Structures are given as C-alpha cells and as structure tokens.
Amino acid sequence: GGSAMAAVRDVEIDPEGTFKYILVRLQRPAGGEQRDIVRGTKAAEFHNHIFEKVNPEMEKLGYECKCLGGGKIEHNSKDKKIRVFGLSTGYGKADHSVTVEILKKEYTDYEITWSDDKK
C-alpha cells in the first residue's frame, strides 16, 4: 500500500539558516510509484553526506533512491522566506523549480523563490 510512502515526508530541512540541499527521487524497484523529496541540513558539509543518510533510510522502506541534483537553501523563518539557489559539484544542479513546488506543499504561507545564482 501507499502507507510507507505516505510516512516519508516531502521536506526535511533545517528551520533556519543557509545550507546544502538535495532533490531525491524515490522509486519502487519494480517501477510503479515514484516521488521526489527535498532534504537539506547545515550538518552536511557536502551534498553526498545528505544522500548517504537518506539512502539507507529509504532502502529500508523498499525504495530505490536517485539524487536528481542539489543546491542551497536559505531559510528565513522569521520573515517566512525560502530562497533556493546554487548547485552541487558532485550531483549537478537540481531543478530548483521542482524543489520550490515541493517546498510550497510544506511551507504554504511562505514566499519561496529560486534562482541559478551561485550565492
């Protein structure tokens, strides 16, 4: 059933600050359902650190993970603004417009923007 996938949150990012993020595609090995999730944290020095944490968690739930790219997120919770920008050296640039759509589901009352700026 869809219960395991429902248990996976669309977005897990730090509540404040500027940090690296990745866009990850989850897929059932036999094809079928897939969905994209956003993960970002200041704790990650490199983008692959985030993936190395997410991947085993998702494999336990029966998903194959693929990193679709990365970038940075600037999260200003006081002003309710999120800016998505930059890229990942290892994974390339995520499609920030996709990331913004996913973030909007979670942060419904935020102003969320993206650009291809490096900083």
CATH of the domain at 49: 3.50.20.20
Residue 105 CA to its chain's centroid (Å): 13
6 has a pLDDT exceeding 90? no
Nearest to 102 by CA among 32, 2, 12: 12
Burial of 45 (0-12, 13-18, 19+ CB in 10 A): exposed
- Domain span including residue 91: 11-115
Alpha carbon distance 70, 83 (integer Å): 13
Q: Cα separation of 4 and 14, whole Å?
A: 23
Concerning whether 47 is annotated as a catalytic residue, the answer is yes
105 is in an annotated binding site: no
Q: What's the pLDDT tens digit per position in 46-104?
A: 999 999 999 999 999 999 999 999 999 999 999 999 999 999 999 999 999 999 999 99
Q: What is the pLDDT of residue 33?
A: 84
Backbone angles phi, psi at 22, to 5 degrees: -130, 155
From 47, 49, 75, 96, active-site residue: 47
Residue 14: is it exposed, middle or buried by C-beta count within 10 angstroms (0-12/13-18/19+)?
Answer: middle
Residue 60 in any domain: the answer is yes
Note whether residue 1 is domain-resident.
Answer: no
Res 1: pLDDT = 47
Q: Is residue 92 part of a domain?
A: yes
Q: Which amino acid type is present at position 40?
A: G
Residue-wise pLDDT tens digits, 7-47: 799 999 999 999 999 999 999 888 778 999 999 999 999 99
Q: Is residue 56 part of a domain?
A: yes
pTM listed for this prediction: 0.93
Domain count of the chain? 1
